[in-house]
Structure 1
Amino acid sequence: MTAPRTLTARALLLDMDSTIVNSEAVVERCWRRWAAEQGMDAEEVLKVVHGRQGWATMAALLPDRPMEQNHEDNRRMLAQETADTDGVVPVPGAPAFMAALDGVPHALVTSASIPLADARMGAAGLAMPAVRITAESVSASKPDPEGFLKGAAELGFAPEDCLVFEDSEAGIRAGQAAGMRVVGVGERAAAFAPTALVTDLTLVRVEVLADDAGVRLHIDG
């Protein structure tokens, strides 16, 4: 657990996969299939797939591969992932956490496409935030900060007033590059120096502040 244990923010920016939605089973199935097609070690591939858009992961793994092929594989994988919701569930504590944000400025900032985000949030039984930044919204994948900066701008807040929830290296680096504080969620986040760290969202209590002053988050360890 990293300090501080109490954080205030005017707005929250939430990653989706492995942060509020547990889609690890689907991600593993799809990327194992892709790794087999490329003749690659699936375990090595799975170490780097989290947080980025699929084409960006493919480019990192196969730097000499034509980008057109990466985008084509990414389109195919997005279709597979969207159709496969078996095992997609909320991260522990996510339903109560999201319900507590009713009326609090917040946005989804995900590397998923709109159809994939709809499918996974629906499968997990979580309401889609009114503001969402998806793969279609940005020109660069995480760890580029573009998505988080766009989310803050759409909510009408400066980066320093926003707090990011993320699980992956790419996502945490993106939040940090945007000049935002980051709450890391899950074991994967521990290695990347988030502002605070929780194993899941059952350890976060949301206190809504008066006069539209945002939220105070009480983080237990």
Structure 2
Amino acid sequence: MPETFFPTRPLAALLFDMDGTIISSIASAERIWSRWAEAHGLDVAAFLPTIHGVRSVETIRRLNLPGVDPEAEAAAITEAEMEDVGDIIAIPGARSFLEALPRERWAIVTSAPRRLAERRLAAAGMPVPDLLVAAEDVAQGKPAPDCFLLGAERLGAAASECLVFEDALAGIRAAEAAGAGIVVVTATHHEPVTTGHPAIADYTRLRVAADRSGIRVTRAG
């Protein structure tokens, strides 16, 4: 993979999704959601692929289940996920890559509620950035671009000057709609996903250089 895999122009900032992108919490999420789906008579195998990358309340709301309060159900799921963090781990190389970035030049942009995001980051031994855009910070979650636009704005950058690291289709669509550059992280993908964007398995061979002109990301070797 040549260095031109990444933008050659300096980047103003980097924006990272969390689950599946810098940490792996899929096992935890799928345990909780599987129990919830079974309790509501859903086809678990068909349902689970729909939960990734979007806010819990929107996952539940689009099912339109009779007698189900999406806000209450999403809150209960969050509490269950808060207790199930024993096997959450960092994506290889993610921690050292993030720690090499200027703190004012990167953010996490996640569909998880803030409390859950901070809990999962701590469980994986990952740094909490100065800026974390969480589920409750936007009116519309991914695939709407609001979260990435907000993250870029709060870092003092245009989204078009940012590079987004994502793993889920909803997040990729959100970054596309925001006009950002995109790198797809495939570490937790069960099957190949064709997006038209460059992809990396993990961060172990990535290198970063930052100066007054911006951030440059390259791949070693």
Q: Structure 1 length normalisation: TM-score? A: 0.90
- Contact kept in structure 2, 1:4 and 1:195, CA below 8 Å: no
Match of 1:63 in 2: 64
Q: Give the CA deviation at 1:194.
A: 5.0
Pick the aligned partner of 1:206 from 208, 211, 219: 208
Pick the aligned partner of 1:11 from 6, 10, 13: 13
Structure 1 counterpart SS, 2:143: coil
Amino acid at match of 1:69: D
- Contact kept in structure 2, 1:107 and 1:132, CA below 8 Å: yes
Q: Structure 2 length normalisation: TM-score? A: 0.90
Q: Give the CA deviation at 1:125.
A: 0.8
CA distance in 1, matches of 2:80, 2:113: 12
CA distance in 2, matches of 1:191, 1:3: 22
Larger CA deviation: 22-31 vs 94-103: 94-103
Structure 2 counterpart SS, 1:193: coil
Match of 1:131 in 2: 131
Structure 2 counterpart SS, 1:182: strand
1:60-92, Cα deviation, whole Å (9 max, x unpaired): 3x13546x6111110000011112111011011
- Contact kept in structure 2, 1:3 and 1:196, CA below 8 Å: no
CA distance in 1, matches of 2:156, 2:15: 12
Match of 1:48 in 2: 50
Q: What are the ranges of 5 or more consecutive residues in structure 1 without an aligned counterpart?
A: none
Pick the aligned partner of 1:25 from 18, 24, 27: 27
Compare the two structures and name the one with the higher helix fraction: 1
Match of 1:92 in 2: 92
Tell me: CA distance 1:65–1:133, structure 2 relative to 1, closer, same or farther (3 Å). farther
Structure 1 counterpart SS, 2:127: coil
- Contact kept in structure 2, 1:104 and 1:215, CA below 8 Å: no
Give the number of equivalent residue pairs: 217
Please list, as runs of the form range in 1=range in 2, the aligned pairs for 1:60-209 lying within 5 A after superposition.
60=62, 62-63=63-64, 65=66, 69-103=69-103, 105-186=105-186, 188=189, 191-193=193-195, 195-208=197-210
Structure 1 counterpart SS, 2:164: strand
Structure 1 stretches of 4+ with a deviation exceeding 6 A read none
CA distance in 2, matches of 1:88, 1:165: 19
CA distance in 2, matches of 1:73, 1:30: 12
Tell me: CA distance 1:192–1:134, structure 2 relative to 1, closer, same or farther (3 Å). farther
- Contact kept in structure 1, 2:109 and 2:134, CA below 8 Å: yes
Q: What are the ranges of 5 or more consecutive residues in structure 2 without an aligned counterpart?
A: none
- Contact kept in structure 1, 2:21 and 2:185, CA below 8 Å: yes
Amino acid at match of 2:114: I
1:43-67, Cα deviation, whole Å (9 max, x unpaired): 111111100001111233x13546x
Report sequence identity in percent. Answer: 37
- Contact kept in structure 1, 2:103 and 2:129, CA below 8 Å: no
State the superposition RMSD in angstroms: 2.1
